[in-house]
């Protein structure tokens, strides 16, 4: 199966997600028949089986999604969305910042800077529901947190501050940065969930 994964490349951790998805695809046996591409314009999304919304600055990414006419295309995208950090903010139904136009893809409320400023970034070994191989070493950088998840949302992990990993349908949203550190288990889980 030829696989094409898109990474929204408007701002944020783009190259890290490209590398992580390329490695995950290789580990799943799709290395020779797959590609990971950047998505900046509507035509870039054509033929993609899944899309990553990387971490970065959520207000900036929101503005650029609108400027590049990508909102409706992403909302109606038939593949799964892999959303991390700022991406988690964007896929929510509600966020505590009126400057952000959310995509309404996962039924949840997100507190945008729940973990504070850059200097309050941290790492922890995080148990993730259904993830084989033990805890995931998670890197939190000015991370959001889910304060409310709807009935169709599966909670995968939480900390004292709130929910930090969820799934709904084909989509997964994470407060932290799984693209940093070389552990592709969450990328692989997402790909398998999307039939890849």
The residue from 85, 167, 187, 188 that is catalytic is: 85
* Catalytic pick among 17, 30, 171, 177: 177
* Per-residue pLDDT at 118: 58
Query: What pLDDT shows up at residue 120?
Result: 64
Q: Is 48 a catalytic residue?
A: no
Catalytic: which of 16, 167, 179, 188?
179
Angle at 138 between CA 62 and CA 26, to 5 degrees: 85
Q: Which domains does the chain have, with CATH numbers?
A: 3-193 (3.40.50.880)
pLDDT score for 3? 92
Enter the pTM of the model. Answer: 0.95
Q: What is the structure's pLDDT at 56? A: 87
Beta carbons within 8 Å of 45's beta carbon, 6+ residues apart: 6, 39, 51, 70, 73, 74, 77
What pLDDT sits at residue 2?
85
pLDDT tens for each residue of 90-114: 999 999 888 899 999 999 999 987 7
pLDDT in the model for residue 7: 97
Q: What is the per-residue pLDDT for 116?
A: 63
Residues 85, 71: Cα–Cα separation, whole Å = 18
Max distance between CA atoms of the chain, in angstroms, equals 44
Our answer to whether residue 179 is catalytic in this structure is yes
Residues of the chain with pLDDT under 50: none
Rounded-to-integer distance, Cα 63 and Cα 99, Å: 8
Burial 1-12 (b: 16+ CB within 10 A, else e): eebbbbbbbbbb
- At residue 62, the pLDDT reads 94
The answer to whether the CB of 102 falls within 8 A of the CB of 173 is: no
């Amino acid at each position: 199966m030829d696989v094409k994964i898109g990474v929204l490349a408007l701002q944020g951790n783009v190259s890290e997600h490209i590398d992580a998805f390329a490695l995950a695809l290789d580990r799943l046996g799709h290395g020779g028949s797959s590609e990971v591409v950047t998505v900046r314009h509507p035509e870039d999304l054509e033929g993609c089986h899944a899309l990553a919304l990387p971490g970065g600055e959520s207000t900036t990414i929101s503005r650029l999604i609108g400027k590049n006419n990508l909102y409706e295309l992403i909302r109606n995208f038939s593949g799964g969305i892999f959303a991390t950090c700022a991406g988690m903010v964007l896929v929510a139904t509600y966020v505590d910042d009126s400057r952000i136009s959310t995509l309404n893809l996962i039924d949840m409320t997100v507190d945008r800077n729940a973990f504070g400023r850059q200097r309050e970034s941290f790492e922890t070994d995080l148990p993730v529901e259904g993830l084989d191989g033990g805890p995931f070493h998670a890197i939190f950088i000015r991370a959001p947190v889910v304060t409310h998840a709807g009935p169709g949302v599966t909670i995968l992990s939480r900390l004292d501050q709130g929910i930090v990993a969820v799934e709904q349908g084909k989509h997964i949203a994470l407060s932290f940065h799984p693209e940093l550190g070389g552990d592709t288990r969450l990328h692989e889980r997402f790909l398998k969930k999307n039939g890849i």
